[in-house]
Each structure stands twice: as structure tokens, then as C-alpha cells.
Amino acid sequence: MKKIDPAVKKETLFILWMTVIISLLMEAVFLIIGKWDTTVLFGNLLGAAAAVLNFFIMGISVQSALGKEEKDAKNVIKLSQSLRFIMLVAVGAIGYLVTCCNVIATVLPFLFPRIAIAFRPLFSRERGGE
Amino acid sequence: MELAIGIILGCCALGAGLAMIAGIGPGIGEGNAVAKACEAIARQPESKGSVTTTMLMGCAIAETTGLYALVIAILLMFVAPNILVDILVKTISSL
């Protein structure tokens, strides 16, 4: 098995922690509006796990694609994106079909990595050094 | 009543299908970006670490457009029909 690039590990950890923080905020919002129940919690767990897994698989795909020829790299990323998209559709469908999950709390965490990346410059230590 | 519900369900499904068209773009965009990153690394192998980090963030951002579409499509398929049908039933019963 190929070794995971340190950059992939570091960024995935960052996304994981930020997803946890934003998930807690989302739970707080559900509590405040009075719609919180255990389905929100389970849906949030499922969606957040899928979002972090999606980012990690993307990192592995990018890592493996960077060592290939241009055309192969393009195809690897296209295939990876399609498969990850199908995975997220399946997770969304599970969130709807399984009664112990709230569908909104399941699909909203898919967008959390994007919010985490928006806050990335605040946590970047290399910024001033370069 | 049944016709109205059918139109609501059909429009929701149509909207979800149209939203999923946006899922095509990110794959092509990410593919092009990674191909160029390969070219950059081949030219300057010492910059692999920073290129990988930038690529990861870039790919995640590029993918967000597809995820917006996915979230909208899932909400249109699973959440919106119930709400819209409830509104329709309430409106008809109040007449």
C-alpha cells in the first residue's frame, strides 16, 4: 500500500477538526430553533463522516494522480470525482431512508469542508514565513 | 388534487435532475487542474509539497459547486415534495 502524503494527512486533520466544530455549531442552531432530536445528531454524524471521508479520498486520488502522466492524472481525478459523488448521493439517500437520521442534518455537513477552507488562511502558520 | 400533486412531484424531480447537471463540471475542472499540477511538478520537482497542498484545497473548492447542486437535488427530491403537498392540502381545505 502506498504511503499517505503528509500534506494529505495534515489537511484531512484540519478538515476533520473544523467539521467537528461546525457540526457542534449546527447542533446548537437546531437546539435554539427547537428542532433538535436524536435524528439530527445521527444525521449530522453520518453526513460529517461522509464529508471528511470524501475529502480524504480526494486527497489520496490527488496524491496518486500527481505521480502520473497528464492524461492519466485527468482520468484518475474524473473517475474519483464521479465515484465520490455517487457515494455522497448514497449517503444522502441513506439519510432519508433510515428513520433515525434527519435528512437536512445529513446533507448540510457535505458543505462544511468548504467553510473550513474559507477559514484556512486564519490557521496557516506558513503565511508570514514565506 | 391528484393532478396538482403529480405536477408538484414532477417539477421537484425535474428540478433535481436539472440541478445535477452541475455535477458534471467539477470533475472536468479538477481533472484539468491536476493535469497542470503534474506538469508543474515535472518542471519543478522540489515544489511537490506546496503543489499538493494547493491542489487539495483547489480541488475541494472546485468540488463545492457540485456539492451545492447535490444538496439542492436531495432537498428537492426528499424534503420539498412533502412541504409543498402539505401547503397544497392546507390551501385546498381552507377554500
Nearest to A95 by CA among A87, A104, A103: A103
Q: Is residue A96 part of a domain?
A: yes
Burial A58-83 (b: 16+ CB within 10 A, else e): bbbbbbbbbebebeebbebbbebbee
Quote the mean pLDDT of chain B: 88
Nearest CB to A107 within list B38, B55, B75: B75
Range of the domain at A42: 6-120
Contact A111 B60 (CB under 8 A): no
- Alpha carbons A75 and A68: distance in angstroms, whole number: 10
Summarize pLDDT for A68-114 with one digit per residue, the tens. Answer: 888 888 888 889 999 999 999 999 999 989 989 999 999 999 999 99
For chain B, list residues with pLDDT below 70: none
**Closest chain B residue to the Cα of A10, Cα to Cα:** B53
Q: Is residue A127 part of a domain?
A: no
Q: Is residue A126 part of a domain?
A: no
- Alpha carbons B38 and A33: distance in angstroms, whole number: 48
E-state strands within B1-95: none
Nearest to A38 by CA among A117, A94, A101: A101
Q: Is residue A50 part of a domain?
A: yes
* ipTM for the complex shown: 0.81
Q: Is residue A1 part of a domain?
A: no
Domains and CATH numbers, chain B: 2-16+24-94 (1.20.20.10)
Summarize pLDDT for A28-80 with one digit per residue, the tens. Answer: 999 999 989 999 999 999 999 999 999 999 999 988 888 788 888 888 888 99
Instruction: Please count the structural domains in chain A.
Output: 1
Nearest CB to A120 within list B57, B64, B74: B57
- The Cβ of residue A45 has, within 10 Å, a number of other Cβ atoms equal to 15
